[in-house]
Amino acid sequence: MKRACVKAGLLSAFTLSFPGVATAGELSSGNTAWLLVSTALVLFMTLPGLALFYGGLVRSKNALSVLMQCFAITCLVSILWFACGYGLAFGNGGALQDYIGGGKIWLEGLTRDALIGDVPETVFLMFQMTFAVITPALIIGAFVERVKFATSILFSAGWFLLAYVPVCHWVWGGGWLAKLGVLDFAGGIVVHVNAGVAALVAALVVGRRRGFPDTAMPPHNMTLVVTGASMLWVGWFGFNAGSALAANGSAGMAMLVTHLSAAAGALAWGVIEWKRYGKPSVLGIVTGMVAGLGTITPASGFVGPGAGVFIGFLAGGVCYFATHYVKRVLNIDDSLDVFPVHGVGGVLGSILTGLFVVDSLGGTGLAAGQTMGGQIGVQALAVAVTAAWSGFVTFVLLKLLALTVGLRVSAEEENEGLDLADHGERGYSL
C-alpha cells in the first residue's frame, strides 16, 4: 500500500547518506521489522549493556552512580532528540544544509504514515535516537568516580547538541562531509571518534582520580563487566547490521564482519597479555572484543569477511598498546579507557574503510571516479575535523561548567564514593 513520504528536503538528505535505500513510497514490512529489532538491540547496548560494563569496572562505592548516569543520559537525550535533535541532525537546513539541519521541532508534522525510504519515519527516528543516546554515555567512562552528577548531565546535554548533532548531520544528514563522499556505515566517526576525543579532553580537563596512578583501582565486579560486555556484543548487531536500514545482503555481511572483528580483537588482546604477563585476563579479552567492535563499525557495511578479521586483529593490538601508553606512560586518567579503545579504534577503522572498500579487496567498491588514495584522504579529513570540533566543544563546555556549577566533588565525597555523595544510596548492602 502506498504511504505518504516525508518532505523532499529530509528525504534527499537521507538518500545522500544512505544511497542504497529505496526512495519510493512503498512500505516494506520486512525492512521495518528488522529496523524495529535493531532499534531495541542498540538501546540494549546502553541499558543494560554499557551500564553494567561501566558499572562493574568502577569501584563498588561508585557503581550506582555510573548506572544512574547511563540511565539519566538515556532519558535526557531522548527528550532532546524529540525537542530538536532529530530535526537538526536529519532535517532540511535550507541555506545551512551543509552544516546543520532544521525543522521537525517537537516532531511537528510527523505522522504514522510518513516514510523514510521504505520504512516508517517513526522507526528511522527511533533507530537514530538510540545512537544519539549511547554516544554521550560512552564519554562518562573517562571521568567516572570524581565528577558531580549535575555536571555530567549538563555536560552530556550540551555536548549532544553542540558536538553529536552537527557531526551526525555532516556525515549522515546530507551535510558537507556526506557530499564529499565520506564512508561511515554505522558510526566510527559520528560515534567513536566523536566520543573518544571528547573523553580524552575531559580526562585532561577534569584531572585524575585521587590516588591515581599510585593506588590500584581494579574493577569491583568482573561478573558485571563480562555480562555487560556480552550484551554489547549482541547489541552491536543492531548497531552495525541495522545500519543497512534493510533486511538484505548488506545487513548480513555487516553482521558477519562485526562478529568476526569482535572475535579477532578479543583474541589479539588476550594473546598479547598472555605473552607479556603469563596469564590472559578476563578484562583484557572483553576489552579487546569492544575494540574489535568499535573499529569495524565504520567499515561494516563496506568490507568483506577477510577485512573484518584483519581489522579486528589489528584493533586488538593497536588499542591494547594505546591503552598502555595513555594510562601508564602519559599517566592520563581516562578511567575506563574510552579514548584508546573507542577513539583510537574509531580512527583506525575509519581510515581502513577507505582501503578495504575497494572491490579487489572484497569491498563494495569505490564511488565512480574515486581512487583509493582519494577515499582515504576523505576519511582522514572527516576524522580530523570531527576530532577538532569534538575536542573544542568539550573543552569549552567543561571550562564553562567549572566556572558555574563546578566539575568535581569534594575530596571527602570522592573518598566516600559518589553512590552516597550524589544519590544517598549504596549499590551493595552486604
Nearest residue to 262 (alpha-carbon basis) of 210, 300, 224, 227: 300
Percent of the chain with pLDDT over 70: 94
| pLDDT recorded at residue 264 | 98
Q: In the predicted model, is pLDDT for residue 1 greater than 90? A: no
Query: What single string gives the DSSP state of each residue in 367-427?
Result: PTT--HHHHHHHHHHHHHHHHHHHHHHHHHHHHHHHHTT-SB--HHHHHH-HHHHHHS--S
Task: Tell me the average pLDDT across 160-168.
Answer: 98
Task: Tell me the average pLDDT across 294-310.
Answer: 98
Confidence of residue 240 (pLDDT cuts 50, 70, 90): very high
Q: In the predicted model, is pLDDT for residue 2 greater than 50? A: no
Alpha carbon distance 210, 329 (integer Å): 18
Which residues neighbour 283 within 8 Å (Cβ) at sequence distance 6 or greater? 219, 222, 225
Neighbours of 35 (CB within 10 A): 27
Confidence of residue 20 (pLDDT cuts 50, 70, 90): very low
Task: Tell me the average pLDDT across 95-105.
Answer: 95
Confidence of residue 14 (pLDDT cuts 50, 70, 90): very low
| pLDDT recorded at residue 429 | 83
Task: Tell me the average pLDDT across 328-347.
Answer: 98
Alpha carbon distance 376, 396 (integer Å): 30
Q: Which residue has the cell 582522514?
A: 380
pLDDT digits (tens, 9 = 90+) for 353-369: 999 999 999 999 999 99
Task: Tell me the average pLDDT across 305-312.
Answer: 98
Instruction: State the burial class of residue 94 (Cβ atoms within 10 Å of its Cβ: 0-12, 13-18, 19+).
Output: exposed
Could you report how far apart the first and last alpha carbons of the chain are, in Å? 59
Task: Tell me the average pLDDT across 129-148.
Answer: 98
| pLDDT recorded at residue 3 | 29
Q: In the predicted model, is pLDDT for residue 401 greater than 90? A: yes
| pLDDT recorded at residue 237 | 98
| pLDDT recorded at residue 342 | 98
Show the DSSP H helices in 85-214 as ranges. Answer: 86-90, 121-139, 149-159, 165-172, 176-180, 194-206
Alpha carbon distance 102, 373 (integer Å): 34
Alpha carbon distance 257, 377 (integer Å): 24
Question: What is the greatest pairwise CA distance in the chain?
Answer: 66
Alpha carbon distance 307, 357 (integer Å): 9
Q: Which residue has the cell 593490538?
A: 317
Task: Tell me the average pLDDT across 215-232.
Answer: 97
Q: In the predicted model, is pLDDT for residue 11 greater than 90? A: no
297, 349 in Cβ contact below 8 A?
yes
pLDDT digits (tens, 9 = 90+) for 165-223: 999 999 999 999 999 999 999 999 999 999 999 999 999 999 999 999 999 999 999 99
Domain ranges in the chain are 8-423
Neighbours of 108 (CB within 10 A): 8
> Average model confidence (pLDDT) for the chain?
94
CATH level 3 topology of 8-423: Ammonium transporter fold (1.10.3430)
Alpha carbon distance 45, 232 (integer Å): 5
Q: Which residue has the cell 556484543?
A: 233
345, 315 in Cβ contact below 8 A?
yes
